[in-house]
Amino acid sequence: MKKIIPMFFAALLAGQALAADFQPFQQAKFDALQKDGKPVLVDIYADWCPVCHRQEQVLKPMLQEPEFKNLTVLKVDFDSQKQEVKAFKANRQSTLILFNGGKEVRRSVGETNPQRLRQFVTLPH
């Protein structure tokens, strides 16, 4: 039993290390990731938005997969972060913007189809 508990926590932590990281949007964090050329998914959401909730239900488990371990998800609140929403030229909540290598590579609005969302967040190798 003493060996099982540490192994369980080690496996749990290893799983977390493989997962995409979801964080509230902060400009300094975004700028640092952009400067380093890291992949970033900007998720412009609203708590009251059913499409946003569906996107999250699809993306959260998907982004736990090892292939997305380097992706950081920064969530912009459509209602309280108006300046950021405007800076990203997002006219609607449920807007997803994928950045890689310091550049915007894809943009999607209102997509909830799991296959299309997978294609959207998958970067070319």
The pLDDT tens digits of the residues spanning 52-75 come to 999 999 999 999 999 999 999 999
Cα dist from 102 to 13, 38, 76, whole Å: 29, 7, 18
User: Exposed/middle/buried for 12, CB within 10 Å: 0-12, 13-18, 19+?
Assistant: exposed
In the chain, what percentage of residues exceed pLDDT 90? 80
User: Which pairing describes strands 21-24 and 103-109: parallel, antiparallel, or unpaired?
Assistant: unpaired
Residue 3's pLDDT is 52
Query: pTM for the full model?
Result: 0.83
Helices (H), ranges, the chain? 4-18, 27-35, 50-62, 82-87, 114-121
Quote the CA–CA distance of 68 and 18 in Å, as a whole number. Answer: 8
Residue 1, H or E segment = none
